[in-house]
Structure 1
Amino acid sequence: MKVDLIITNIGELVYFKEDSLETLSDAAIAIDNGKIVEFGKRKEIEDKYSTKTKHQIIDAGGNSVIPAFVDPHTHLIYSGCRHEEFLAKLKGKEYLELLTEGKGINYTVKLTRQDSAENLFRVSHQRLIEMRNNGTLTLEIKSGYGLNLETEEKIIKVAQMLKNRDEADIVITFLGAHAIPPEYKNDRKTYVKEIKEKMIPAFAGKAKFIDIFIDKGAFTVDEAREILQAATKHGYEIKMHIDELSYTGAAKLAREFSVVSVEHMELTTEEDIEILKENGVTAVLLPGTCFFLKLQHKPRIEYMREVKLPIALGTDHNPGTSPFYSQSLIMALGVFLYGLTVEEALLGVTLNAAKAIKMDHIKGNISPGMDADLLILNTHSFVHLVYEVGRNHVSKIVRKGKLVNIH
């Protein structure tokens, strides 16, 4: 049978079977029309399939091949940086204290409001390519550095421009409820009303998800409930930032709404973890943020394991609390900070990450019928992604069955 591409001489092929990590040695993969046709032992695949031209064979050199990374939580589109805030934190200033001084999210909002769509696209595209070159081929991008109709629209437009470049698969999330903007500091109700009555209708169909930052210094559970009621009427899927800086009890909203994922969860209780499991929610943990902010509380990993709550991992890429690009680094932080196994960490940045953005039917695994998004590593085992922390082990990238030029 003729196919578009065969990847052969795979020393270790990594895939998931019912969420359990499996490996196959001396393997090969047959790919056609951007999809995985079949994988198996090298001899079996090579006997069964041939390519349409002799140049459509990739030799993996006996190294490991894994599913490409999926990043389910990023704030990729913003202007400026916050390195001065970073230095202040190193001297002991708390994040909530910086927020009251006009730094934090609102500082980035100010710069992003002033910037042009063209420049936002330019800098965000550079970030996207950095992520892609580190192995992320599918990612979620949130708005949230506009906090008014005009700038949120600009950010979502830039996200769509990035999506149209087709250099990665992008899912767009509307995060107008990221913070209360300075002009509404003493009039929260009016801003919540603006989100409900203006922003949510404006971005319906442009953003797949809505997200809300429910925490101390951000939005309350009651405000979130109002916003989610409006969002569901317009067809948004739901994500929630919860329990990063304080316990909110926001996980209980999963009993009222169809929630796809909850993010952060440093202070989420065992009772709330059970609620999330009962309601089919995926946990998106962000160890980069925990590391960068030196947070003392860690998610209750052992209990998540006990109840079998799916655990995804994301970079939370943003300029203030997690300026990271690499999902392999996030894997390492998940292992060293949170106590995940290496296998759980890889599952978290592939199949479970895809589950958190409702793309696990085509992304995050090596299986017939799924998109042929693959990473050929420069090492014989995926364990080196964590073992040699800080090194980019991506040697070759295949996206939808085509070799990507890493630049």
Structure 2
Amino acid sequence: MNRRQLWRGGHLVTLQEKQGWGLVPDGVLITEGDHLRWVGPLADLPPTLCQGLTAEHDLQGALVTPGLIDAHTHLVYGGERSAEFELRLQGASYEDIARAGGGIRSTVAATRAASEADLQVAADARARTLMAEGLTTLEVKSGYGLSLEEEAKCLRVARRLSSLGLTVRTTFLGAHALPPEFDGRADDYVDAVCAWMPRLRDEGLVDAVDAFCERIAFSPAQTRRVFETARQLGLPVKLHAEQLSDQGGAALAAEFQALSCDHLEFVSDDGIQAMARSGTVAMLLPGAFYFLRETRLPPVAALRAAGVPMALATDHNPGSSPGLSLLLMLNMACTFFRMTPEEALRGLTVYAARALGLPDRGQLVAGQRADFCVWDAAHPRELAYYFGRNPRRATVIGGRHAG
């Protein structure tokens, strides 16, 4: 039997409409099983919905938002790269380090050397840190194994993060970098990546396919081959694109109706218009922008004017964004990218859900999943205002307390 619970006395942030917070003072949530049955002001609550309640909860005037969604992470990996951080402070660029054999390749070596059990312990700890700030849904990319066996190992670890109570979506990022055994044979490696996909899909390890389309990674033509294979297998795609240069990746992603196109500091007007036509979400990653000390901002005003939905994520990874704070991403999106606090919160809820192809979450609306966060705050803009302070009181995932 589905549990029917009443959550009263909350200051609700529904994000129900396309604009505006959707504030409901003295609001009530009715959850039934893992979904929201009713959302609205206490004065409008139908008495019939209070029949058969299995529990009641007093939110004591706390702020309630949809659960936060981190829709772009590289959470499963071995080792760390603080030495490269120091090199960049001394003037080395991200591309310099990558071309010298560091960067992604160094993490590949550490990940291949790590046991599956050790990777699980480390990934669990990272996910729990994100959960402490209201995470309810998580995307995890592979891309640090770069062989069939190692990619499968990382994807299995990612899948098991669901045991923490999260919804976990896994993304195959085999086309992340060229492994050392394929030096000088990028096309051969792309052939291998495409050949691995059917098995990984059949083993239930892949929800989507990603690629890194950049001068130091894979060309648009090579990326197209990966996407064509994904389409044949019925897998949606997303793309790391236009982070360091304009390779036309956004338009390519839009051609394949990609769920999201991520980074986008160098995206062109043509790329923006293509994304607007396809409905592809712009995934903005302020943590990487900050950590790499980039100076070229993603064109937020142009994306906004074109009606391209803008999501946010931590992009947690050991090389370019080792942060594990969703709330810090809200602040960075406002301070660096000049997003409004409302846009930033939508980026970690409504549009993050869209970037994962999950229309059943991201808002406090009847029929959606009962994923929400309870905060010690008077207004939702406070979530983007503070940094170094965690106002979370509780997280509810699927109608159940998650801490």
Counterpart of 1:314?
A: 313
Q: Assess if the C-alpha contact under 8 Å between 2:237 and 2:259 holds in 1.
A: yes
Shift in Å, 1:247: 1.1
CA distance in 2, matches of 1:28, 1:323: 37
CA distance in 2, matches of 1:330, 1:190: 38
Counterpart of 2:386?
A: 388
CA deviation map 1:233-289 (0-9, x unaligned): 112111000010111111221454231110000100112100111111111110110
**Out of 160, 180, 183, which is 1:182 matched to?**
180
Which residues of 2 match residues 249-288 of structure 1 at below 5 A? 249-254=248-253, 256-288=255-287
Counterpart of 2:200?
A: 203
Judge which range, 228-237 or 144-153, deviates more.
228-237
Q: Assess if the C-alpha contact under 8 Å between 1:254 and 1:279 holds in 2.
A: no
Shift in Å, 1:44: 3.2
TM-score by length of 1: 0.95
CA distance in 1, matches of 2:127, 2:106: 22
Counterpart of 1:398?
A: 396
Which residues of 2 match residues 5-404 of structure 1 at below 5 A? 5-45=5-45, 47-50=47-50, 52=52, 56-163=55-162, 165-197=163-195, 199-204=196-201, 205-254=204-253, 256-360=255-359, 362-404=360-402
User: Aligned to 1:321, what secondary structure does the other structure show?
Assistant: coil
Judge which range, 67-76 or 229-238, deviates more.
229-238
Q: Assess if the C-alpha contact under 8 Å between 1:3 and 1:50 holds in 2.
A: no
User: Aligned to 2:29, what secondary structure does the other structure show?
Assistant: strand
User: Aligned to 2:279, what secondary structure does the other structure show?
Assistant: coil
Shift in Å, 1:24: 1.1
Cα RMSD of the aligned pairs, angstroms, is 1.6
Shift in Å, 1:323: 1.1
CA distance in 1, matches of 2:32, 2:240: 39
CA distance in 2, matches of 1:4, 1:22: 24
Shift in Å, 1:18: 3.3
Shift in Å, 1:12: 4.2
Q: Assess if the C-alpha contact under 8 Å between 1:11 and 1:61 holds in 2.
A: no
Per the alignment, do residues 254 and 108 of structure 1 end up closer, same or farther by CA in structure 2, a change over 3 Å counting?
A: closer
CA distance in 1, matches of 2:369, 2:173: 28
Per the alignment, do residues 337 and 381 of structure 1 end up closer, same or farther by CA in structure 2, a change over 3 Å counting?
A: same
Per the alignment, do residues 49 and 287 of structure 1 end up closer, same or farther by CA in structure 2, a change over 3 Å counting?
A: same
Judge which range, 181-190 or 280-289, deviates more.
181-190
CA distance in 1, matches of 2:234, 2:51: 43
Per the alignment, do residues 72 and 46 of structure 1 end up closer, same or farther by CA in structure 2, a change over 3 Å counting?
A: same
Q: Assess if the C-alpha contact under 8 Å between 1:63 and 1:381 holds in 2.
A: no
Q: Assess if the C-alpha contact under 8 Å between 2:361 and 2:369 holds in 1.
A: yes
User: Aligned to 1:395, what secondary structure does the other structure show?
Assistant: strand
Judge which range, 45-54 or 87-96, deviates more.
45-54
CA distance in 2, matches of 1:303, 1:175: 28
User: Aligned to 2:65, what secondary structure does the other structure show?
Assistant: strand
CA deviation map 1:91-128 (0-9, x unaligned): 22111111122211111100000111111111101111
Question: Percent identity over the alignment?
Answer: 31
CA deviation map 1:44-70 (0-9, x unaligned): 33845337567x222222121000101
User: Aligned to 1:329, what secondary structure does the other structure show?
Assistant: helix
CA deviation map 1:359-397 (0-9, x unaligned): 02x111100011110100011111111111221121111
CA distance in 1, matches of 2:48, 2:3: 10
Judge which range, 246-255 or 43-52, deviates more.
43-52
CA distance in 2, matches of 1:270, 1:21: 29
Per the alignment, do residues 51 and 59 of structure 1 end up closer, same or farther by CA in structure 2, a change over 3 Å counting?
A: farther
Shift in Å, 1:206: 2.3
Per the alignment, do residues 48 and 381 of structure 1 end up closer, same or farther by CA in structure 2, a change over 3 Å counting?
A: farther
CA distance in 1, matches of 2:344, 2:144: 29
User: Aligned to 2:13, what secondary structure does the other structure show?
Assistant: strand
Q: Assess if the C-alpha contact under 8 Å between 2:152 and 2:205 holds in 1.
A: no
Q: Assess if the C-alpha contact under 8 Å between 1:30 and 1:45 holds in 2.
A: no
Shift in Å, 1:13: 3.5
User: Aligned to 1:338, what secondary structure does the other structure show?
Assistant: coil
Q: Assess if the C-alpha contact under 8 Å between 2:13 and 2:66 holds in 1.
A: no
Shift in Å, 1:3: 6.0
Per the alignment, do residues 227 and 3 of structure 1 end up closer, same or farther by CA in structure 2, a change over 3 Å counting?
A: closer
CA distance in 1, matches of 2:71, 2:264: 15
Q: Assess if the C-alpha contact under 8 Å between 2:13 and 2:380 holds in 1.
A: no
Judge which range, 167-176 or 319-328, deviates more.
319-328
CA deviation map 1:132-184 (0-9, x unaligned): 11111101110000011110011111112223x15200011000000111222
Shift in Å, 1:19: 5.0
Which runs of 5 or more residues in structure 2 are unaligned? none
Shift in Å, 1:185: 2.1
TM-score by length of 2: 0.95
